[in-house]
Amino acid sequence: MSRIDTAYNYFMTTYGDSIGSRYESHKKSELRDTYNRIVKTNKDSPLYKIKDTEDMGQFAIDIKEHANNMALSVSNLSSAGEDIASVLDKRVASSTNPDTIETMYVGDENSDVDDFTIEVYSLAKPQINTGNFMEPNEQSFRPGSYSFDLDIRNHSYEFQFNVNAGEDNLRVQNKIVRLINTSDVGLSAQLIEDRNGSNAIQIASKSTGISDDETTLFNISSTISRRELDILGIDRITQQPSNSDFKLNGVEHQSLSNTFTVNKAYELVLKAPTHGEVTVGLKNDTEALSDGVNQLLDSYNGMIDIGLKYTGAHQNRTLFNEISSIAKGMSGSLAFAGITMDGFGHLSLDGQRLSEVINSSDKAQAFSILNELKIAIRAAASKASINPMAYVDKAIVEYKNPGKTLSAPYATSAYSGMMVDYSQ
């Protein structure tokens, strides 16, 4: 499909770093339900075409990813039970400096846990090998078959690659990068470029740290292809692996990884040196609730922003009107729970008002309002995620025969029910 590669590149560069939330893992029944809803949408969707423009693909991806954020925020508020009131019974870990120490409570809900301090001096680092920078258009390799040996954590592998006549350095380097990345041996490879436009292969271990009986995490060598290995230079270590170095309650510790548990209660992720002590403990009930509601509102506001962006670019208010109608229809009741709406449709939370109302005799009414908002946002997220193309400009080509519709299992391979107009 034309421009689909551009859309995928946009997805990875814009949203790739956010992939991996613990709420993104699903049961078989949930995946089956999603599949069934996709099939039903395709079965009922007319055939249409859209203009083959770059921003159309980006818009569809923006919708799906912001819908996913809305769904994740709903899952966060539902992790202790469907009723948002159950958040008050859920233990949520907190860090006084989340930019350097990220934490999650993983212990028993009924056990006694104490706060503690942590001071991080250095993070655990992977081993990195960086090859020689080579002119991309030159041909430094003679045609033939070559190999090099990789030793990693008590395992040995042989990597073989061919150089064909006329292949330049860049093609050979890309071939080796793909070879390493597809081998799944605990390494990742990439090409880096210097200011002169030359390229080098950089290989990093996926694991970090080094145990007492190790000196390296991996070694690259070759006997039969020593000349080619010397040309590549990928056997040269440019960063030695190292352990994280920190103090817990003033006592020095080290770890092979930047992620570990403390007292079987807190999972910590070290993100940067702290330059001082950071306190890790449990949030109070109202703080955890406010954080969850703020995350829900942030995800909702993100979808409002996408709707506003598309309204300005294409004068299409379908998405904006549908999402903003949720808050407009509840504006009076939301204000009771401390949630207000501005002129653009964005929602904001008055944490003090929320704390007051949930600690009063009216807390049942407040939780009823929050649950109603959560259910409405979940429904909107599900609809937008399954069929983002419902909100873009398109021309209907043909409606399906009512009562005799058939599912089109391949229609969702790119965007649901879309036919590209190549005449544009």
In this structure, what CATH number is given to the domain that contains residue 147? 2.60.40
pLDDT, one tens digit per residue, over 222-275 is 999 999 999 999 999 999 999 999 999 999 999 999 999 998 899 999 999 998
- Residues forming beta bridges with residue 50, ordered by sequence position: 420
What integer pLDDT is reported at residue 407 of this predicted model? 64
Same domain, 308 and 400: yes
Is the domain of 133 the same as that of 253?
no
**Which of 230, 253, 282 represents a domain boundary (last residue)?**
282
| pLDDT of 17 | 52
Least Cα distance to 181 among 201, 197, 164 occurs for 201
392 and 325, same structural domain?
yes
Q: Are residues 231 and 134 in the same domain?
A: yes
| 178 C-beta neighbours (distance < 10 Å), count | 12
Structure tokens at 419: 């036919």
Q: What residues form DSSP beta bridges with 239?
A: 128
Question: Same domain for 13 and 70?
Answer: yes
- Structural domain containing residue 166: 128-239
**Cα 187 from Cα 232, distance rounded (Å):** 17
Same domain (yes/no): 383, 295: yes
For the chain, first and last CA: distance in Å?
14
Q: Using CA atoms, how far apart are residues 341 and 299, in angstroms rounded to an integer?
A: 14
What is the DSSP annotation of 374-388?
HHHHHHHHHHHHH-G
pLDDT on residue 205: 95
Q: What is the pLDDT of residue 415?
A: 46
Query: How high is the pLDDT of residue 400?
Result: 67
3-state DSSP assignment of residue 281: strand
Residues 255 and 117 in one domain: yes
Interval 376-417: pLDDT, tens:
999 988 888 888 877 877 766 666 666 666 665 545 444 443
Q: How many domains does the chain have?
A: 3
Q: 315-348 b/e with 16+ CB inside 10 Å = b?
A: ebeebbebbbebbeebeebbeebbbebeeebbbe
- By the 8 A CB rule, do 244 and 209 touch? yes
Task: For residues 389 and 291, state if they share a domain.
Answer: yes
Q: CA-to-CA distance for 299 and 378, rounded, in angstroms?
A: 11
- The CA-based diameter of the chain, rounded to the nearest angstrom, is 82
Residues 307 and 402 in one domain: yes
Q: Rg for the chain (alpha carbons), in Å?
A: 27
**Which pLDDT does position 421 carry in this prediction?**
41
Looking at residue 4, its pLDDT comes to 47
Along the chain (424 residues), what's the average pLDDT of each consecutive run of 10 residues? 49 52 62 74 71 70 84 78 76 90 86 90 96 95 94 90 93 94 91 94 95 92 93 95 95 95 92 94 81 90 89 78 90 90 92 87 90 91 82 70 62 43 40
Task: Give the pLDDT confidence score for residue 318 in this predicted structure.
Answer: 87
* Final residue of a structural domain among 282, 313, 337: 282
Q: What is the DSSP string of 79-118?
A: TT-SSGGGGGGS--EEES-TTTEEEEE-S-TTS----EEE
Residues 6 or more apart in contact with residue 251 via CB below 8 angstroms: none
Strand-strand pairing, 418-421 and 47-51: parallel
At 420 the pLDDT is 41
Domain end marker among 221, 256, 282: 282
- Is residue 324 located within the same domain as residue 252? no
Reduce the DSSP state of residue 97 to 3 states and report it.
coil
Looking at the structure, tell me whether residues 231 and 249 fall in a common domain.
no
Question: 222 and 147 in contact (C-beta within 8 Å)?
Answer: yes
Model confidence, pTM: 0.60
C-alpha 131, offset from chain centre:
30
Verify that 64 and 106 share a domain, yes or no. no
